[in-house]
Structure 1
Amino acid sequence: MKKVITIPNAPQPIGPYSQAVLKNDTLYVSGQIPIDPKTGVLQNHNIKVATQQVMENIKALVETAGLEMSDIIKCSIFLKSMNDFTEVNEVYAQYFNAAPPARETVEVKKLPMDVSVEISCIAIK
């Protein structure tokens, strides 16, 4: 049986999907964009600020599901510009002390709400 994870510490979905879904010991976190859950305002004026907001949203979902950031085994990063790759990595690395998850990073033409970064992940207890 799956359990939908919805919390006030992550932005509400902007479409017909769940913020995250827990099935057995596996958590699937939908793509997170840099929306501040407290204000609903996009934090998209700077790629480092945007990436930090995305990672904080992911962290809130992961922890609410009873997992830790170290339980994340796979991430997918979508960038509006691959020129932001280095700065995104600098922020992203702060959330994974040792043995970072597998991941891919791809440049895409457009993201929801015209943001610069979106990240999804999978975590296992």
Structure 2
Amino acid sequence: MSIRRVRTVDGLGQPVGAFSQAVIANGVVYTSGQIPAGADGSMPADFDGQLEATLENLRTLLDGVGSGIDHVVKVNGYLTDAAQLESYNRIYTRWFGDHLPARTTVCVELWGVALELECVALLKEESDA
């Protein structure tokens, strides 16, 4: 079994805590939850901006390990308010288009952010073979 742990990639800040931002095992990428914080720690104030920033962080992480948004097979989303679901679906659909992955979304209490996203994706060379 081949396992690679990625603490961070260019374009993302250092994780605050004892975790890898991604673990790659046998061609499958498992990401830790991504939040809307920029590499400099800044965050948009509104939900739509936070979702865009979180998806951008997820894309940066996936691209940095040899995967991509179009290689995502499963997303787990954590929102702080069920009223955010309409905006979430609209922006999420724009990002994933016709290759919608399987998804679970739940409302939880988070500290200082409106959402967190994690995913499972395939490496490009594994899924394109």
How high is the TM-score relative to the length of structure 2?
0.87
- Structure 2 counterpart of 1:52: 52
Structure 2 regions of 5+ residues with no counterpart? 124-129
Cα deviation, 1:18-73, whole Å, max 9, x if unaligned, reads 11111121000100111011x21122x11100000000000011111111211100
Give, in whole Å, the separation in 1 of the partners of 2:115 and 2:70.
21
Q: Which amino acid aligns with 1:24?
A: N
* RMSD between superposed Cα atoms in Å: 1.2
What percentage of residue pairs aligned between the two structures are identical?
A: 30
Tell me if structure 1 keeps the 8 A contact 2:77–2:104: yes
Q: Which amino acid aligns with 2:86?
A: T
Q: Which amino acid aligns with 2:31?
A: V
Alignment of 1:74-89 (within 5 A): 74-89=74-89
Give, in whole Å, the separation in 2 of the partners of 1:62 and 1:114.
24
Structure 1 regions of 5+ residues with no counterpart? none
1:3 matched to 2:4? The reply is: yes
Shift of residue 17 of structure 1?
0.6
Alignment of 1:14-33 (within 5 A): 14-33=16-35
Cα deviation, 1:82-106, whole Å, max 9, x if unaligned, reads 1001111222112212120000110
Greater Rg, structure 1 or structure 2? 2
- Structure 2 counterpart of 1:106: 106
Tell me if structure 1 keeps the 8 A contact 2:75–2:102: yes
- Structure 1 counterpart of 2:116: 118
Tell me if structure 2 keeps the 8 A contact 1:11–1:57: no
Count matched residues: 121
Q: Which amino acid aligns with 1:65?
A: V
